[in-house]
Each structure stands twice: as C-alpha cells, then as structure tokens.
C-alpha cells in the first residue's frame, strides 16, 4: 500500500502544509489560515485539513486521500496539554504526531545533526538536541517569559516613552517617534498598551533595531538588555554541549550583530525551514518504519 | 447656614470618609467597600455615599445631611477622563471636587509645605508641589508603568522563577519558595501570571524584601533594579526643587533603606494621612471661601 507523508507548520497567522512521498521527497506545498490549537482548536483543525488538501491538489493527488496519509504537525502552544489531545483525536489523517513548532524548526535547521536553534520572533524559545535528547528553554509567552522577544522589546520601548514623557529619562529620537505617534499623550500610550497583543508590541521591535544602528542611545540600551537575555539562554545551550546554533524567526537577521562575541563562532545558517523539518520527522516516524504505524 | 465638609479617600480595596466642621476639625471617620471609579463607577458611587453617611452617623449627625455637605475626593485613576465627570455628576453632595489619590496624600503628608511624596504600593506615583504648582510623574498602571511597584517586583520574581526553572539563571532561596508553591511546574506559574491582577503580583513583593535582608542574591538584584527606578524618579523631584520627600504606601517602610544615599537626607515622616489631606483640601476650597461654592 502506498501512502503519503504530510508535514504541517501551524502558526498563529497561517498554516503551511507539504505533501511528500514515503521517502520524504516533497511533492507540493500549500498554505491556509491560522492554526492556533490553544486559542481556537476548531479553526486550527479546519485550516490544517484545508492546507493538507490544497497540497494534495497542488501535487495532482486526490485531496480525499489525506485520510490515508501520515502526518507530523508542529504547532505553537503544543506544551499546553488538553488542546493537543483534542486536536489529535479529530485530525483527518491515518496517523499523526503533534510536536512543538520549536522541534520542527530544529529539525529543519539542523537536519539530523546535534545543535540548537534560537527562535527570535514575537516570542522567544530555545531548542537543543544532543544524542536524541531534545531540550527546551524559554517559550513561556509574553506575560512573564519571552525575554528578548519582539513583544518584549516593543513593550520596553513604550515603557521608555512614558519615562521620557514624565521627564524621568532623557528623550531620544526613537522615543520621539512613539510620542508623536500617540500625540504626546501618555494616556493614549497606556490605553494602547492595555489592549495590545504581543504581536502589536512586537511591531515596534524592528524600529528599535533600526534606530540603534543609527546611534540612538536609548534604542541601544534597550537592545543591550534584550540581547543579554538571549546570550544568557545561549550560554545554557553551550553548557548543554551545543556546538552549532541557528538563529531563526523574524528578528534573527536583526539580532545577528547583537549576539555576544563568545557565541558568534557557533552561529550557522539553517539548512531548511520548519516545514521541511516536519516532513523529515514524518519520514523518520512513518516513512521508514511502516510497522510503527497506528 | 452651617454645612459640613467631607474628605474621601477612595481606593481599590476600601473607601474612607471623614466629616469635619467648616474649620476643618474632624468630627468622625468611617469606612466602606472599594471605590475604583474607573473599573466600577456604580459601586464606587455607592461606597462613597455609604462611607460619608457612616461618618455622619458616627459624628451623631443626620446621615441625610450629606446632601448639604461639600466634599473633596481623592481617587485612584482620577486622570482617566470620562469616569471622573460621570461620578462627579452623581455624587450625593452639594459640591465636590475629585482629585487624585496622589494629591490628597501629598496634602496629608506635607500640609501646606512644598515638597514631594513617593507613593510606593501596588503601583507607584510621584507628586510634587512647588509654589502652588502640582506635578505628577509615574502612576501609569501596571502594563507599561508603575516601575518599582509591588506589582512589578512580584512580576519580576515570577519571571525569575521561570529562568531558574529552565536552567538559564542560578537558583536562590526566594525563587525556590515560588517554585515549590507552584509544584515546580512552570505551566502553573505561567497560568497564574496570565490571570493575575497587579495586586496578586504585588503580594510577592514583601517576600522579595525579606529575602534580600537575609542575603538572597537574586532578591537583592531584583530590588536593586526596582530601587534604581525609584531613585531616578526622586532625581526628577529633586531637579524640580524638592527639599523634602515623604515615602508613602505599603512598601514605604520596606524601601527606606534601599533608597540611594543621595536622597536619604531628604526623606521625612508624613504629617498626616491621605484622608486628613482630603479634609484639608475641602477646608481650603469650601470651608474658608463659601462664595466659591457650587
């Protein structure tokens, strides 16, 4: 019996799927809407199925045969318990494993090598693998985690703008852009921040990097604080034996020059993306060992 | 015509009222439930009236005569616009001014002298007065303000506990108390923090001070960071000409020894409390100048 493999990279803004032959050769890719299994499992299930069917169609395959396929899904919020079990039960595949978005990113970036990835985006999470053992650090979300993330950098910029507004800190160009955006009204900034989701704070992060490049002292201080938290996490990865680190996520290119000199020689370009990683895990679990199928 | 003056100190946990003769002599005090005009104006209005009536009763006066009284109210969140106008319209007094809790605290602490108060509690706000001019700094709430507050100190402790949990930071006794309270389960800490109100974070603050006293290095580092934000705000007060600063609020006694040496000689004990300050403002506005009444 021939069956296909599916890799899914499910995120808060979109869900990507790839269909592959049992040997892992990717036949087609496709994309659908958000797949956050924690905040909205029904929509996630529907978009996961849509992306998979679209990939099958794109490959010239009958979309209904996704029901015979084996899949590995990488999803944000996978470590939050009940939602995973619920989604797993209702997935339209013959067999499926749900993993963290961090693990499929690691597999995509490093292939089967040992090493680590630092995913620096709206949030931050660190994943390392040594001799089959996978370990995580960070990734606890905006409220008391995700240090160094875009959301935290944006948050620190807005906080700084209030200190400048009150006269407690000296002004700087990057802070002035924020103050004029909010009509120099501290109450508007506070109101925005009270409602803002992590992604909305995170939209300020690239601006902080850009102004720091141009010599803005406040932007540079905020990024020095942020990179310190990243370097502390990288120290942990190194202590665990990592000899290769890939920076991933939207802020990776921005962060590259801010990483401490002691880590620069460990930084490497990723081999592939998270979707490639999901497919590779599907091959390892379902492609080469058909006897392990459910 | 004889009328009485009322001072109100309305806070998020209780509302206190004092009734005074037109010369400011306090006849009685009383207390009722929460009066947060921003989050729940109806309950605030009801508790303000209840506290005032109870004070009148306590003084042997007919509680219905609050309708002829003139009041000054100090309330948290007074600077947030519409709620103040709404509450002012429905207050059961002949005339009333609504001021910030910071201003009545300043009046209570300093009387008619120039100087400043630093209110260090669940939140932080700084109020200074020089030659009739009153200026504020801080007090913008937990999300992107209230640096150095109990809520922010508690938040930093919980954040630290995740870093220790992940192995990024070294453990310390104060962090261990948090981890065991949450069964060493990072997810429990995250879940608590996602739901926690500022007051719930703030309940951890005294513990941080206590452990720092006993030599806990992590607690000391968190408090060094927190006191830096307080000292920066005090620098602003000094730059504005303050020669006397009263530390107020639940954390004032804890903070005293953490304030930088350059500010220690400016610290002074408050003359009276916020309720006394509200009555004093009522005397100034309504007691001595009956022609200014509404």
Separation in Å, CA of A78 to nearest CA in chain B: 12
Give the separation between CA B186 and CA B273, rounded to whole angstroms.
41
Statement: residue B291 has pLDDT above 50 = no
Nearest to A232 among B79, B144, B168 (CB): B168
Residues A123, A125, A126: CA angle, nearest 5 degrees: 155
Q: How far lies B287's CA from each of B2, B4, B61, B88, in Å?
A: 10, 8, 18, 19
Give the separation between CA A269 and CA B49, rounded to whole angstroms.
67
Separation in Å, CA of B51 to nearest CA in chain A: 30
Nearest to A145 among B136, B169, B190 (CB): B190
Report pLDDT for B40: 84
Largest Cα separation within chain B, whole Å, is 72
Quote the tokens at residue B47: 């508790």
Q: What is the ipTM of this complex?
A: 0.89
Give the separation between CA A3 and CA A22, rounded to whole angstroms.
7
Give the separation between CA A156 and CA A144, rounded to whole angstroms.
13
DSSP string, chain B: ----EEEEEE-SS-EEEEEE-TT--EEEEEEES---TTT-HHHHHHHHHHHHHHHHHHTT--GGGGGG-EEEEEETTGGGSHHHHHHHHH-SSSEEEEEEHHHHHHHHHHTTS-EEEEEESSSEEEEEEETTEEEEEE---TTT--TTSHHHHHHHHHHHHHHHHHTSS---HHHHHHHHHTTT-HHHHHHHHHH--HHHHHTTHHHHHHHHHTT-HHHHHHHHHHHHHHHHHHHHHHHTT---EEEESTTHHHHGGGS-HHHHTTB---SS-HHHHHHHHHIIIIIS-GGG--
Residue numbers in B near A166 (CB within 8 A): 136-138, 233, 236
Q: Do B145 and A167 touch (CB under 8 A)?
A: no
Separation in Å, CA of B163 to nearest CA in chain A: 8
Q: What is the pLDDT of residues A219-258, one digit of tens each?
A: 999 999 999 999 999 999 999 999 999 999 999 999 999 9
Q: Count CB atoms within 10 A of the CB of residue B14.
A: 14
**DSSP reduced 3-state for B106:** helix
Which of A171-175, A220-224, B2-6, B270-274 has the weakest average pLDDT?
Answer: B2-6
Report pLDDT for A81: 64
Q: If you average pLDDT over residues A25-35, what whole number do you get?
A: 94
Q: How far lies A175's CA from each of A147, A214, A216, B31, in Å?
A: 21, 14, 9, 43
Statement: residue B294 has pLDDT above 70 = no
Q: What is the pLDDT of residues B207-265, one digit of tens each?
A: 999 999 999 999 999 999 999 999 999 999 999 999 999 999 999 999 999 999 999 99
Specify the length of chain B in residues: 294
Separation in Å, CA of B138 to nearest CA in chain A: 7
Would you place residue B287 in the very low, low, confident or very high pLDDT band (cuts 50, 70, 90)? Answer: confident
Contact (Cβ atoms closer than 8 angstroms) between residue B167 and residue B184: no
B62 versus A11: which is more confidently predicted? B62
Give the separation between CA B12 and CA A156, rounded to whole angstroms.
27
If you average pLDDT over every residue of chain B, what do you get?
Answer: 93
A48 versus B79: which is more confidently predicted? A48
Q: Do A79 and B138 touch (CB under 8 A)?
A: no
Residue numbers in A near B143 (CB within 8 A): 190, 193-194
Report phi then psi at B40, rounded to 5. Answer: -155, 75
A150 versus B289: which is more confidently predicted? A150
Crossing angle for the helix pair A186-195 and A150-166, to the nearest 10 degrees: 160
Q: If you average pLDDT over residues B18-37, what whole number do you get?
A: 93
Contact (Cβ atoms closer than 8 angstroms) between residue A131 and residue A137: no
State percent of chain B over pLDDT 90. 82
Quote the tokens at residue A283: 């091959």
Q: Which residue, among B291, B288, B284, B272, has the nearest Cα to B97 in the 3D structure?
A: B284
Quote the tokens at residue A18: 């790839």
Q: Which of A77, A144, A151, A228 should we substitute to test contact with B (largest number of B Cβ atoms within 10 Å)?
A: A144
Would you place residue A283 in the very low, low, confident or very high pLDDT band (cuts 50, 70, 90)? Answer: very high
Contact (Cβ atoms closer than 8 angstroms) between residue A42 and residue A36: no
CATH number of B5-111+272-292: 3.30.420.40
Statement: residue A37 has pLDDT above 70 = yes
Separation in Å, CA of A158 to nearest CA in chain B: 7
Give the separation between CA A75 and CA A78, rounded to whole angstroms.
6
Residue numbers in B near A143 (CB within 8 A): 190, 193-194
Q: Do B166 and A232 touch (CB under 8 A)?
A: no
Q: Which residue, among B118, B200, B239, B51, has the nearest Cα to A167 in the 3D structure?
A: B239
Q: What is the pLDDT of residues B142-175, one digit of tens each?
A: 999 999 999 999 999 999 999 999 999 999 999 9
Q: Count CB atoms within 10 A of the CB of residue A19.
A: 28
B84 versus A262: which is more confidently predicted? A262
Question: A270: Cβ–Cβ under 8 A, 6 or more apart, which residues?
Answer: A108, A109, A110, A117, A246, A248
Chain B residue with minimal CA distance to A186? B140
Question: A228: Cβ–Cβ under 8 A, 6 or more apart, which residues?
Answer: none
The whole-angstrom distance between residue B149's C-alpha and the CA centroid of its chain comes to: 11
Statement: residue A293 has pLDDT above 50 = no
Statement: residue A77 has pLDDT above 80 = no
Residue numbers in A near B167 (CB within 8 A): 137, 236
Statement: residue B290 has pLDDT above 50 = no
Report pLDDT for A290: 47
Would you place residue B3 in the very low, low, confident or very high pLDDT band (cuts 50, 70, 90)? Answer: confident
Would you place residue A3 in the very low, low, confident or very high pLDDT band (cuts 50, 70, 90)? Answer: confident
Report pLDDT for A9: 94
Which of A19-28, B9-18, B44-53 has the weakest average pLDDT?
Answer: B9-18
Residue numbers in A near B186 (CB within 8 A): 140
State percent of chain A over pLDDT 90. 82
**Which residue in the block uniquely carries the two structure tokens 């395959």?**
A61
Q: If you average pLDDT over residues B82-98, what whole number do you get?
A: 89
Q: Do A140 and B162 touch (CB under 8 A)?
A: yes
DSSP H or E stretch at residue B282: helix B274-282
Residue numbers in B near A164 (CB within 8 A): none
Instruction: Please determine whether the domains at A5-111+272-292 and A150-264 fall in the same fold group of CATH.
Output: yes
B36 versus B195: which is more confidently predicted? B195
Chain B residue with minimal CA distance to A188? B80
Chain B residue with minimal CA distance to A143? B194
Chain B residue with minimal CA distance to A201? B144
Nearest to B80 among A136, A169, A187 (CB): A187
Please report, for chain A, the start and end positions of each structural domain, with discontinuous segments joined by +. Answer: 5-111+272-292, 150-264
Report pLDDT for B132: 86
Chain A residue with minimal CA distance to B238? A168
Q: How far lies A195's CA from each of A12, A144, A200, A211, in Å?
A: 18, 17, 9, 25
Report pLDDT for B85: 84
Statement: residue B11 has pLDDT above 90 = no
Residue numbers in B near A190 (CB within 8 A): 140-141, 143-145
Quote the tokens at residue A281: 């895990």
Q: If you average pLDDT over residues A64-84, what whole number do you get?
A: 83
Q: Do A158 and B141 touch (CB under 8 A)?
A: no
Give the separation between CA B240 and CA B222, rounded to whole angstroms.
28
Residue numbers in A near B194 (CB within 8 A): 141, 143
Separation in Å, CA of A125 to nearest CA in chain B: 11
Q: If you average pLDDT over residues B82-111, what whole number do you get?
A: 91
Quote the tokens at residue A125: 């999470």
Nearest to A186 among B140, B143, B189 (CB): B140
What number of C-beta contacts closer than 8 Å exist between A and B?
76
The whole-angstrom distance between residue B44's C-alpha and the CA centroid of its chain comes to: 16
Burial class (CB in 10 A: 0-12, 13-18, 19+), A271: middle
Report pLDDT for A287: 81
Chain B residue with minimal CA distance to A160? B144
CATH number of B150-264: 3.30.420.40
Q: Which residue, among B134, B96, B139, has the nearest Cα to B112 in the 3D structure?
A: B134
Q: Do B79 and A194 touch (CB under 8 A)?
A: no
Q: Do B143 and A233 touch (CB under 8 A)?
A: no
Give the separation between CA A253 and CA B23, rounded to whole angstroms.
69
Q: If you average pLDDT over residues B276-280, what whole number do you get?
A: 97
Q: Count CB atoms within 10 A of the CB of residue A55.
A: 30
Statement: residue A291 has pLDDT above 50 = no
Separation in Å, CA of A55 to nearest CA in chain B: 35
Report phi then psi at A215, rounded to 5. Answer: 95, 10
Statement: residue A292 has pLDDT above 60 = no
Chain B residue with minimal CA distance to A158? B144
Nearest to B155 among A79, A144, A235 (CB): A144
Q: If you average pLDDT over residues A165-180, what whole number do you get?
A: 97
């Amino acid at each position: 019996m021939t069956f296909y493999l599916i890799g899914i990279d499910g995120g808060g803004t979109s869900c990507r799927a790839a269909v592959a032959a049992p040997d892992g050769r990717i036949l087609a890719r496709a994309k659908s809407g958000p797949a956050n299994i924690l905040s909205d499992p029904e929509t996630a299930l529907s978009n996961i199925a849509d992306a998979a069917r679209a990939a099958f169609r794109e490959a010239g395959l009958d979309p209904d045969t996704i029901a015979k396929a084996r899949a590995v899904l990488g999803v944000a919020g996978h470590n939050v318990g009940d939602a995973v079990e619920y989604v797993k039960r209702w997935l339209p595949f013959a067999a499926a494993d749900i993993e963290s978005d961090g693990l499929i990113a690691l597999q995509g970036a490093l292939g089967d090598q040992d090493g680590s990835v630092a995913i620096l985006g709206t949030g931050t999470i660190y994943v390392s693998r040594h001799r089959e053992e996978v370990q995580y650090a960070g990734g606890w979300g905006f409220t008391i985690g995700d240090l160094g993330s875009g959301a935290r950098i944006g948050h620190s910029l807005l906080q700084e703008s209030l200190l400048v507004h009150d006269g407690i800190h000296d002004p700087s160009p990057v802070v002035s852009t924020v103050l004029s955006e909010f009509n120099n009204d501290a109450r508007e900034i506070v109101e925005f921040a009270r409602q803002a989701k992590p992604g909305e704070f995170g939209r300020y992060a690239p601006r902080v990097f850009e102004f720091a490049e141009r010599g803005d002292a406040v932007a540079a201080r905020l990024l020095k604080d942020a990179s310190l938290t990243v370097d502390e996490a990288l120290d942990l990865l190194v202590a665990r034996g990592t000899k290769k680190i890939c920076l991933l996520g939207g802020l990776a290119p921005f962060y590259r020059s801010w990483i401490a000199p002691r880590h620069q020689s460990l930084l490497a370009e990723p081999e592939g993306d998270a979707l490639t990683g999901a497919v590779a895990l599907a091959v390892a679990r379902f492609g080469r060992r058909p006897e392990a199928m459910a």
